[in-house]
Structure 1
Amino acid sequence: MPANPELLISPKQRQGGGYEQLAADFLQQQGLRLIARNWQQPKVGEIDLVLIEHGRSWNVLVFAEVRKRKLLGYGDALASITVTNH
């Protein structure tokens, strides 16, 4: 393993991490608290951000999938998500 673990991350992964950071910063500015980043469950998948919003009556657990898409020819971010049945 190299001394710098970031050497194992591709430029695309670094870019994605940057957008995840922007999303996390924005959501935290809205009052949510970050619980986990890139949470993984074997055979299920990965969630980019897990946050909690403390409300007056109840707390809300928030799962965020961060997507960045080019506008021309690729559709929006929602179009990039597929449903799988396990």
Structure 2
Amino acid sequence: MNARGALGRYGEDVAARKLSEAGLRVLARNWRAGRSGEIDILAAEGEALVVCEVKTRREGSYQPPMAALTPAKTARLRSLAERWIAEHGGAPPGGVRIDLIGVTLPDRGAPRVEHARGVA
């Protein structure tokens, strides 16, 4: 795994831990739908399915993690969520939500985690 991949994996580990601590149940990580793309984390909050995009950056990076969700990425996540639902028994009673989790890694100290719910 290259340095960028390791950074992303670490950020996803931090995000999954924070989601669990907040009471969400992680259903899957790095779920792929062929060449269509990947959902970083799928979780359940009550009866809702939560599709989580995780963006990890080092402190001082050009773009903060919370600014990294583009309209194209949002459309791809919606499409992937539809595929997940089709493959896993239909839409959940609580609906589907897309969240963005930004993980910022300072030079020293613990990572900072921002969780934006329902970004798309």
The TM-score with structure 2 as length reference comes to 0.53
SS at 1:75's partner residue?
Answer: coil
SS at 2:51's partner residue?
Answer: strand
Deviates more, 1:35-44 or 1:74-83: 74-83
Distance 2:4 2:63 in 1: 19
Paired residue for 2:63?
75
Paired residue for 2:9?
17
Q: Which structure is higher in strand share?
A: 2
TM-aligned CA deviation for residue 72 of structure 1: 4.1
Distance 1:43 1:11 in 2: 23
Look up the equivalent residue of 2:65 and give its one-letter code.
A
C-alpha offsets along residues 1-60 of structure 1, whole Å, 9 cap, x if unaligned?
Answer: xxxxxxxx1122112111100000000011111110001112421110000012xxxx11
Distance 1:75 1:10 in 2: 20
Runs (5+) with no aligned partner, structure 1: 1-8
The TM-score with structure 1 as length reference comes to 0.70
Closer, same or farther in 2 for the Cα pair 1:28/1:40, shift >3 Å? same
SS at 1:26's partner residue?
Answer: helix
Closer, same or farther in 2 for the Cα pair 1:43/1:28, shift >3 Å? same
Structure 2 residue 54 is the aligned partner of structure 1 residue 66: yes
| Cα root mean square deviation, aligned | 2.1
Look up the equivalent residue of 2:5 and give its one-letter code.
Q
